[in-house]
Structure 1
Amino acid sequence: MGHFKLLDVFAGCGGMTRGFLDDGEFVSVGAVEVDRSAAATYAANFDPTGGHTFAGDIADYTNVPRADLVIGGPPCQGFSALGKRDPEDVRNQLWREFVRVVRESDARMFVFENVDRFAKTPEFELLRTAASNGGELADFRTQVFRLNAADFGTPQKRIRTIIIGSRIGPVVEPPVTHAKNPIGDVLRWVSLRDAFLAGPVVLEPGVRDEWFPESTADFQNFQVPGPFKLRDLHVTRRYDLTSEIRYAHIAPGKSRLQLPVELQYPCWRKNPAGASDVLGRLRWDQPAVTIRTEFFKPEKGRFLHPQWENGGEQVNRALTHAEAAVVQGFDERHVWHGTKAEIARQIGNAVPPPLARAVAGVVADRLQAG
């Protein structure tokens, strides 16, 4: 059991907490998550009684516990290149609540996680200003790291902005453990083949259709679907014949640009060069691209299963929820609550636990040094 008190806001399904607790130096004392199903997932994994999981708007979170560290990643859609990037998007203002919780918890450090683009937003500069002379967090100094989850053993190329604030001294940059072209003790990036066929969770390409098992549980006086084990999530959608024919044309590393004209949607014919990742197939020998919340829809990105030829049966479907969770770095310890769409959002929005654990290591070193 760790001894540094950890408070996770915008906690989601608990990817960040999973990584920090795996470091061994932290104990969870609180979590805030507005999505009830995600909060139920968090509680099932880290707070079985639900006693310190607040399922509601962070603006209503007033009973803030004392903590050594506050972690969190406000919803990124307002900053994402996939969104409208509206400066008035209310989600872009949630960092202010993060600052309030840091102040009220009397934390010695904080870790703020967001999409790569966040470092180029006005909100980023305002956060830095809050942690400078005259700001609300004037006794903190911030360091900004641009980290790729693949560099820390996640089978996914996912670049994130990590801002570490400290009032007890600086941290070193988390040392990479994996690389595309490794040198010395650094290992090679974890490929999908490593993750799906040789890792701690072996997921066979063959899956059943359509639904999770029938199961519900009570969470803070509401019924939520689940809990589901990782293998309960290894299900696929049913595709029509035309879709399956389209998928069968797409080789690893290729996309809808490989389709013959007669199989293209009219909008693709009008815009032949755009959205080159749409209907893309992953590669066995590489990490996945960034997993998003609609990974189960091949038309949304490069989410087709990597098996195409190479002596195996062709697999013409998108990743299952279980496969996407493994790509994010979750293992069979993690249990899940929610509908298929809700759990997909939890998976797509999560911080990869291996990345979080790497950050936890340098934060714990700083807290220990005082």
Structure 2
Amino acid sequence: MPTLIDLFAGCGGMSSGFRRRGFDPVLAIEFDLAAAATYAANMGADHTIWRDIAAVDAREIPRADVVIGGPPCQGFSNLGAKDVNDPRNQLWREYLRVVTAAYPQIFVIENVDRFLRTDEFALLLDQVDGGALAGYSLAYGHLNAADFGVAQSRKRTIVIGSRIGPIDLPAPTHSRDPQSGLPARRTTRDRIADLPEFPSSTQLPDATVEYFGERVPGMFKGIDLHLGRNPTPLSRQRYDHIPPGGGRFDLPEHLLPRCWRDKPTGTTDVMGRMRWDRPSHTIRTEFFKPEKGAYLHPQWDAAGTHRVNRPITHLEAALLQDFPEDYLWCGTKTQIARQIGNAVPVGFAEAIAGRVRRALEA
């Protein structure tokens, strides 16, 4: 089995996809305790380091066939300040330090779509031209998770570095074009239609587990994460006016908050409702707040006889991120939501892993 190092491992979405393709994780590094505990619960604690990557000594880094990871991207995300000097933008340098120490045959970087237009990416290219990555060839571009069997539209930058010959990015396996000859994209219905429409609880079970000498909430799985909320009557009125594919512009004047009334353009997806027969919008870390995006449950009929006026649950978000229903989770509700929103969809990672595995075997 080819060996794998996962940096900024989060809750293990990327490693899960690579394990499905037969990779053996030998090291994972994650700074957030709850995320590291979730990773360890599913992948094993024996190779998991809960620590700042900058504090991991080169002597702790084994050789590995492949290094993967997504350095935190808030500094140049479309949702962030886009500050080149943001310290979070420097963490990819730590990624390169580990690549130098592990000397893998292949490395993979996953990041936000605009990463290719940043100064940090330009500096990454410089490292290939006589720097720390001399000897590696790079393939990079934008891929959408929905094109690889994930029921979510999530456009990301993927960089594959190889010192065993050029490796192309994986080709799409699904398409929204019926003339393409590929299977249709998977839909929201495919992943969450069988779940109860009305969650029975708003709280996680009262349980804790110990990892790395610390106790954290957990472990939770399946219906434990199917958590409802208690929206105000005003919020429920707003939800009731939003049809599938709609958003804040569907609200009548008397239900508009002042901030939206004074902003007649932009932020088009907030207070949005999903569609059953399309992939979901990108699942972010605050998917439980409809004012943050298109996160209302897709069930809504024009007659008003069958409407589910609530945001998606943690379980629904995890399934749309392509995690299995029996995946184990550690942390508070907010911590688990952050893990879900920051994860690489498992099926997306699996498609990348398949391309990498074929290159190694060739």
State the match for 1:305 in structure 2. Answer: 297
TM-score by length of 2: 0.97
State the match for 2:89 in structure 1. Answer: 92
Aligned residues: CA RMSD: 1.2
Corresponding position: 1:165 with 2:161 = yes
Q: Aligned AA for 1:340? A: K
Please tell me whether the aligned partners of residues 139 and 169 of structure 2 are also in contact (alpha carbons under 8 angstroms).
Answer: no
State the match for 1:321 in structure 2. Answer: 314
SS in 2 for 1:227: strand
TM-aligned CA deviation for residue 184 of structure 1 = 6.0
Q: Residue 337 of structure 1 is aligned with which of 330, 340, 351? A: 330
State the match for 1:101 in structure 2. Answer: 98
TM-aligned CA deviation for residue 274 of structure 1 = 2.4
Corresponding position: 1:52 with 2:44 = no
State the match for 1:262 in structure 2. Answer: 254
Please tell me whether the aligned partners of residues 275 and 298 of structure 2 are also in contact (alpha carbons under 8 angstroms).
Answer: yes
State the match for 1:155 in structure 2. Answer: 151
Q: Distance in 1 between matches of 2:263 and 2:285?
A: 25
State the match for 1:79 in structure 2. Answer: 76
Give the number of equivalent residue pairs. 359
* 1:277-292 correspondence to structure 2 within 5 Å: 277-292=269-284
Q: Distance in 1 between matches of 2:196 and 2:202?
A: 16
Please tell me whether the aligned partners of residues 5 and 27 of structure 2 are also in contact (alpha carbons under 8 angstroms).
Answer: yes
Q: Residue 349 of structure 2 is aligned with which of 339, 345, 356? A: 356
State the match for 2:18 in structure 1. Answer: 20
SS in 2 for 1:292: coil
After TM superposition, the structure 1 stretch with the greater mean CA deviation from structure 2, 38-47 or 304-313, is: 304-313
SS in 1 for 2:278: coil
Q: Distance in 1 between matches of 2:306 and 2:222?
A: 24
Q: Distance in 2 between matches of 1:185 and 1:203?
A: 31
Corresponding position: 1:143 with 2:139 = yes
Q: Distance in 1 between matches of 2:133 and 2:111?
A: 19
Q: Aligned AA for 1:55? A: W
Please tell me whether the aligned partners of residues 139 and 168 of structure 2 are also in contact (alpha carbons under 8 angstroms).
Answer: no
Q: Aligned AA for 1:186? A: L
Q: Which runs of 4+ in 1 moved over 2 A?
A: 182-185, 310-313
TM-aligned CA deviation for residue 185 of structure 1 = 4.9
Give per-residue Cα distances to partners, 1:112-168, cap 9 Å, x unaligned: 000101011000111111122x21110111110311000001110000100000001
SS in 2 for 1:235: coil
Q: Aligned AA for 1:41? A: T
State the match for 1:6 in structure 2. Answer: 4
TM-aligned CA deviation for residue 334 of structure 1 = 1.4
Give per-residue Cα distances to partners, 1:12-34, cap 9 Å, x unaligned: 0000000011112x101010000
State the match for 2:121 in structure 1. Answer: 124
Q: Residue 114 of structure 1 is aligned with which of 111, 117, 120? A: 111
Please tell me whether the aligned partners of residues 242 and 250 of structure 2 are also in contact (alpha carbons under 8 angstroms).
Answer: yes
Give per-residue Cα distances to partners, 1:37-85, cap 9 Å, x unaligned: 00000000001xx221111100011111111100000111111111111
Give per-residue Cα distances to partners, 1:293-337, cap 9 Å, x unaligned: 000001111110000117862111111000000111111241100
Please tell me whether the aligned partners of residues 209 and 238 of structure 1 are also in contact (alpha carbons under 8 angstroms).
Answer: no
SS in 1 for 2:134: coil
After TM superposition, the structure 1 stretch with the greater mean CA deviation from structure 2, 271-280 or 91-100, is: 271-280
